């Protein structure tokens, strides 16, 4: 494989440029371009370019090749009717676990499918039904998202000020790894330059100020998987991965399984009264808060550091309420 395509992001950029310049490239052609990677890998790269970075790439089944949409692409023969779009917009407005920029992007894309001749009138009808306009802070998020995606594709670092509280802001220089959503917040997943121990940190976009793309290069490790990282991360708290064993009352079984549904875990022991769960997770501070909320229905078996942290907090609570 050529040195210039030695990382997956090198290959992503190469594929995007090649398809834009030549609309008749097959997966075999793209595999050859990237130094002979498997065709399944090419399919995964195409999916990332489409789903994550929004590249308008389509597969032409007649020529078995990839191509960009035409600039005037508005073919809705197999798409939605206006009534269906209206129903989808209303359904999006009623979803509670998606919000802000995420909902706005989906609604805007749906409205863009409406013929131009009726679009303005259609927008007014939607607004009358309660279509939420994007807030200024959310518009800032959209600008951030565009810059972050650009930095990742161009393999550049990001510079910004971060305000974790009302009275504090710190300048950061980071290597961006990706973006993630948790409830109605968007997060930048990045490695802070100079951070000891290789700690990856999750930055809330609404707390990022003056975001700029640096001229310095940034390389995402080949073995880094955003999906695996997020699977280990607890409620977007940052931290190193920690292996832990937790003993829960069986009364909490459904609650625990719901909270760990998207995370790797296994039940290593169980009885009529309890079950013991083993998992690897990042963000031990966030896990501690959740475990404390469960009271005596849970016991931390490992790691010892988490047991001690919970004991210290519990003792502090006892002292406070004894006064």
Q: Give the CATH H-level superfamily of domain 232-322.
A: ACT-like. Chain A, domain 2 (3.30.70.1150)
**What residue ranges of the chain are covered by domains with CATH 1.10.10?**
8-68
Kindly state the average pLDDT of the residues 12-21. Answer: 82
Q: CATH code for 8-68? A: 1.10.10
Q: How many helices (H) and strands (E) does the chain have?
A: 11, 11
pLDDT level of residue 258 (50, 70, 90 thresholds): confident
Between 196 and 161, the higher pLDDT residue? 161
The mean pLDDT of 44-56, rounded to a whole number, is: 75
pTM of the model: 0.59
Token duo for residue 32 = 């050859």
HEC string of 52-70? CCCCCEEEECCCCEEEECC
Reduced to 3 states (helix: H, G, I; strand: E, B; else coil), residue 119 is helix
What order of strands is seen across the sheet that includes strand 168-182?
200-204, 185-192, 168-182, 156-165, 208-217
> What confidence tier does 73 reach under pLDDT thresholds 50, 70, 90?
very low
Tokens encoding 90: 């209303």
Write down the pLDDT at residue 19.
84
- Residue 77 reports pLDDT greater than 50: no
Report the pLDDT averaged over residues 9-28: 81
- Taking 80 as the threshold, does the pLDDT of residue 84 lie above it? no
pLDDT range class, residue 132, cuts 50, 70, 90: very low
- What is the pLDDT confidence band of residue 15, given thresholds at 50, 70 and 90? confident
Question: What is the rounded CA–CA span in Å between residue 24 and residue 20?
Answer: 10
- Looking at the chain, the domain(s) classified CATH 3.30.70.1150 span 232-322
CATH 2.30.30 fits 155-223, yes or no: yes
């Amino acid at each position: 494989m050529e040195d210039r395509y030695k990382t997956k992001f090198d290959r992503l950029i190469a594929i995007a440029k090649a398809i834009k310049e030549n609309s008749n490239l097959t997966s075999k052609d793209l595999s050859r371009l990237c130094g002979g990677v498997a065709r399944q890998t090419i399919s995964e790269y195409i999916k990332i370019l489409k789903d994550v970075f929004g590249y308008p790439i389509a597969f032409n089944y007649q020529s078995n090749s990839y191509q960009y949409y035409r600039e005037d692409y508005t073919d809705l023969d197999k798409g939605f009717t206006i009534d269906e779009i209206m129903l989808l917009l209303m359904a999006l407005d009623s979803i509670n676990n998606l919000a802000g920029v995420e909902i706005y992007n989906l609604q805007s894309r749906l409205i863009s499918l409406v013929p131009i001749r009726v679009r303005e009138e259609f927008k007014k009808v939607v607004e009358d039904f309660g279509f939420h306009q994007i807030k200024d802070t959310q518009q800032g998020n959209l600008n951030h998202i565009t810059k972050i995606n650009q930095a990742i594709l161009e393999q550049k670092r990001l510079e910004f000020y971060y305000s974790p509280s009302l009275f504090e802001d710190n300048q950061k220089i980071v290597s961006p790894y990706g973006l993630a959503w948790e409830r109605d917040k968007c997060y930048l997943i990045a490695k802070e330059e100079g951070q000891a121990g290789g700690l990856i940190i999750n930055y809330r976009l609404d707390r990022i100020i003056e975001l700029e793309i640096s001229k310095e290069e940034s390389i995402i490790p080949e073995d880094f998987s955003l999906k695996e990282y997020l699977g280990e991360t607890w409620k977007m708290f940052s931290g190193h991965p920690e292996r832990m064993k937790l003993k829960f009352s069986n009364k909490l079984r459904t609650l625990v399984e719901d909270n760990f549904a998207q995370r790797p875990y296994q039940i290593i022991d169980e009885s009529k009264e309890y079950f013991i769960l083993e998992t690897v997770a990042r963000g031990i501070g966030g896990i501690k808060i959740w475990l404390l909320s469960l009271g005596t229905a849970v016991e931390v078996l490992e790691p010892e550091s988490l047991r001690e942290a919970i004991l210290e907090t519990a003792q502090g609570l006892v002292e406070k309420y004894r006064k």
